[in-house]
A and B are shown apart, each in its own frame.
Chain A
Amino acid sequence: MAEIRLEDVSYLYGADTPFATAALSHVSLTLGEDRTIGVIGHTGSGKSTLAQLLNGILRPTRGRVLLDGKDIFADPKKIGAIRFRVGLVFQYPEYQLFEETARRDIAFGPRNMGKSDDEIAALVEEAARFTGLDEKLLERSPFELSGGQKRRVAIAGVLAMDPEVLILDEPAAGLDPAGKQEILTRLRAYQREKKKTMILISHSMEDMAVFADEIVVMKHGTVFCHDTTDGVFSDPERVREAGLELPQITRLMMALAAKGVPVDTGIHTVKAAKACLSALLKGGDAPC
């Protein structure tokens, strides 16, 4: 429901000191509404800096960040209101839990927004539903929960603010494959159902290929390319140039194509590959 635009944004760490280093330089981006946008890049490519610029935790050294056409720093005193509209889940967010029960921790954001108790209860309920936390878990201390549950409580804490834009910095980092899959699937479902703008930051091409509509590839603090997911994977050379690995399934398809099997090398999800290969096995010979 909201669009974020960056206009020629640069960010320097340690500006005004001799050690100033550019984390982002001259980034212009439009992150459109009602879709999941994956931001991918190597360590040090500026992904996390970008995330913190989008909700005003960091202030651009140069350039502007626009939310629905308005500069978020137009009135620096009201930056708090922007942070409610643009929710940011940091890396390893479980370190921010502090309340006595998971429920109260999730309610921290909405309470800061000044919502009424009834509204808070409804928001917490909804956030818990989207992250798959049941009633019983909500009454327990967040410190008694497992790693994956803590992560979900922390994410629910941001979802409960019902932000228009949701940014998640490596939401699945450090989780086991099943937990990773679950959290990403749930987030994707949330984004679709609520028609939010969701920005997923990750270094895993595998996850992006499955969960993102659009992909922004970052390299050395600049935008290397910004395209639809299909568009990005249709050009494997460009992906390699950015120093990123193609998803395993795409590499498998390319290997098959090299052996003369007529498959589409742009396939990047297991589901699409399965459909394509079973069609081939059933005797269809047209490339899928």
Chain B
Amino acid sequence: MLKDITLGQYFPGSSPLHRLDPRLKLVLMIAFVVLIFFAKTLLSFAYLVVLMAGLTALSGIRVKAILKGLKPVIFIAVFTAVINLFWTTGEVPLVSFWRINIYPEGIWRAVYLIIRIMALVTGTSLLLTYTTTPMDMTDALEALLSPLKKIRVPVHEFAMMMTLALRFVPTLIEETEKIINAQKARGADFESGNLLRRAKALIPILVPLFVSSFSRASELATAMECRCYTGGEGRTRMKQLRLTGKDWVIFLILLSLFAAIVLINFIPFPWGTVL
């Protein structure tokens, strides 16, 4: 059951999206997240859907895998859509019964919300998590945040912490599963009883997990010190991030494609505009 967690899952590949410099990908992702909220008309939302399809094709990742990644947000998307459907008011109600009025604006808003949430998840995963290794991601983050070093923010240390945390996610999942099984074999019951009982039942899992995490952390620290790790100062990299002309070309193309969302809003369209 715990194995289903696909936090930061990376799909290996060699598509243009995979090869794009991670720093630029991070910038693109931020731009994308902002620009998504500029979409206002039916045309721009339709464009958003096309854009997602295009990005998927570009990444070479199977559509099935991407749909699977969307599963966890379906509930949130549908929930917010339904709320919007009932609570948006407009001029002329489309359906009206008892005290509930459904306006066309509500329907549009609900549909747009679903598209927006889905696009948000697909876009960010395609641009970053699915096509970038965790290592590249933290390197990019470190590089982008490095100006903060001037005001004494320990950027390297933060990035290293993130790298380590990501590295140990699968290890911890495996360990948790092992401990759960071992306690089950001693008759631990995690599924019955009231809330308090269930919370108490977690102690036999949490204590060993904490103990082993702490001892693992101290072993790791020792191992790092043995290899003369002293933090970010004077540290060189085996893999240097280097921007090429090709990176810039892809970056600019994608950025202008994203920016087009704003421009498309200005194309007049008879219906479906929500302010």
Which positions in A face B, CB cutoff 8 Å?
A: 52, 55, 57, 80, 83-84, 87-90, 93, 95-98, 108-109, 112-113, 143, 157-158, 161
Given contacts A97-B208, A98-B204, A98-B207, A80 and B187 within 8 Å (CB-CB): yes
Stretch from B48-56, B178-186, B226-234, B255-263 contacting the other chain = B178-186
- Measured in the bound complex, the distance between the Cα atoms of B186 and A108 in whole Å is 7
Known: A108-B204, A143-B211. A95 touches B187 (CB 8 A): no
Closest A residue to B203 by beta carbon equals A98
Q: How far is the CB of A141 from chain B (nearest CB, A)?
A: 11
Contact A83 B183 (CB under 8 A): no
Q: CB distance A95 to B186 under 8 Å?
A: no
Beyond A57-B181, A90-B181, A161-B187: 10 further Cβ-contacts under 8 Å?
A84-B187, A90-B182, A90-B185, A95-B178, A96-B183, A98-B204, A98-B207, A108-B186, A112-B186, A112-B189
Tell me the dominant secondary structure on chain A's binding face: helix
B187 touches which one: A83, A89, A90 (CB < 8 A)? A83
Cβ–Cβ contact B187 & A52, under 8 A: no
Question: Which residues of chain B are near A93, meaning CB under 8 Å?
Answer: 182
Q: Which residues of A contact B148 (CB under 8 A)?
A: none
B187–A96 contact, CB under 8 A? no
Binary flags per residue of B205-218, CB closer than 8 Å to A gives 1, else 0: 00110011000000
Q: What is the CB-to-nearest-CB distance from B65 to chain A, in angstroms, rounded to a whole number? A: 11
Pick the contact of A96: B179, B189, B203 (CB < 8 A): B179
Q: How many Å from the CB of B271 to the closest CB on chain A?
A: 44
Contact B184 A96 (CB under 8 A): no
Give complex CA distance A265, B268 in Å: 94
Interchain nearest-CB distance for B11 vs A (Å): 14
Residues of B contacting A113 with CB < 8 Å?
A: 187
CA distance A242 to B203 in the complex (A): 43
